[in-house]
A and B are shown apart, each in its own frame.
Chain A
């Protein structure tokens, strides 16, 4: 297959952001089949939108806008079909750490973090995901369209909530 410029740029983009995009799909839905579908839709949306990327925003901001907007549309469609599908079982699938010698405590904390994030309402979940992927407040503002003050206030509350969730588990 002959690789066009579009194809090459797209493949490079996927290589750079594959893990964050997989985590994004995982955070939106716990159902493995739906997650695969969502990932496909995001990949397709990025392919379609890539030629119109002019560099007005940073690549990262642009990518997360496309990915989250596509996820929201996917979730709306999924809610429509929800009664015909198996609901999420509420169980977070085990996630393997990068480092094989990661401690059992880390693994438990990670699991609690994922469970807590997946349980958040979608707007909060999106905010937390962007923060956890390392986006700055200005970048989050650009992705969500929320005011800087709103982002800061909500993130403070959400980070505290998550840190408490993780901490509580550790104390047990």
Chain B
């Protein structure tokens, strides 16, 4: 019986390994791949962070220029401090974030993938504290300064700031986190029933 079973198993291996698919040229594949760079996912994260760093530099230059041009020094100072804080926080969060090593065992790779997603979720869930709060403070200072002289335009200004903040919060805490949770479920579903 065992002999029959082994023979059947050997037959499966033979059937599988005798399968040939349209031949590709390894040299051609190597040339093509050598021209390609980072994997898409890691490139996406790098590009998104790069965009944030460019925005930080933009805010610092703009606020510095405001300061030199005789604008409110406290508001400009708050803007520079807020932008540097956001940039620094992002850098700190991602400095130990190299691409996940694909030569790990499947189990370790799954853990690393899920940890990466969970880290992103935690970062997005706290975005109101480390992103929106520091960047909103200079706007509140400007509003306080102008409240007595131009109340209606200040009110409009505050409404615009609040709308942008609420939209940003919704995009990050709801939409992006929802997307990542689905991504997490998809990764988990691909390892379902694996055990240990």
Contacts and interface: CB of A to CB of B under 8 A. Distances in A.
Nearest to B20: A98
Contact of B107 (A11, A96, A121, A144): A144
Interface in B1-46: 5, 8-9, 11-13, 15-21, 24, 26-27, 29-34, 36, 38-39, 41
Contact of B30 (A11, A66, A97, A150): A11
A126 B106 contact: yes
Interface residues of B, number: 50
Q: Which of B11, B12, B109 has the most CB of A within 10 A?
A: B12
B183 interface: yes
Given A14-B30, A70-B102, A76 B15 contact: no
Interface size class of A (residues with CB under 8 A): 35 or more
A49 B33 CA distance: 12
A80 B186 contact: yes
Interface in B142-196: 182-183, 186-187, 189-196
Interface string A88-114: 000000011111001000100110011
Contact of B105 (A18, A70, A109, A142): A142
Nearest to B21: A22
The dominant DSSP class at the A interface is: helix
A168 interface: no
A23 B20 CA distance: 8
A122 B190 contact: yes
Given A76-B186, A97-B20, 19 more contacts: A11-B30, A18-B26, A40-B36, A47-B34, A47-B36, A48-B39, A57-B103, A65-B104, A73-B113, A76-B113, A76-B187, A79-B190, A99-B18, A126-B106, A146-B196, A159-B8, A163-B8, A163-B9, A166-B11
15 contacts: A14-B29, A40-B32, A41-B39, A44-B39, A52-B103, A65-B105, A66-B103, A72-B106, A75-B190, A110-B19, A114-B19, A122-B192, A132-B12, A132-B17, A163-B11
